[in-house]
Structure 1
Amino acid sequence: MESKNITLKVNSKLYDKYRELCKHEGWIVSRQFEKCMEEELKKRGREKND
């Protein structure tokens, strides 16, 4: 799977709290965001293009 760098603007405090959660759980922030996008596409009936 090819990766793409993106730039996001998010609430700083929200990001810091989420980053700490990911660190505590051993998760990668970008992978969690990727999973969120996949779920949203699935919820709306769109297929992932691998």
Structure 2
Amino acid sequence: MAGEGEKLTGLAKHFNGTTMAGRANVAKATYAVVGLLIAYNVMKPKKK
């Protein structure tokens, strides 16, 4: 696991599983993707 001495960069800095903030960001991203999929399916044109 990432220790205090390790410097995370890029996406690993925001989406790491070792900190509560990182886990919260993963959960938020998951909810956002699910919400976008639902919105797309509701708003897409209906086939005749």
Q: TM-score, normalised by structure 1?
A: 0.40
Structure showing greater relative contact order (alpha-carbon pairs closer than 8 Å, 6 or more residues apart): 1
- Structure 1 or 2, whichever has the larger Rg, is 2
Q: TM-score, normalised by structure 2?
A: 0.42
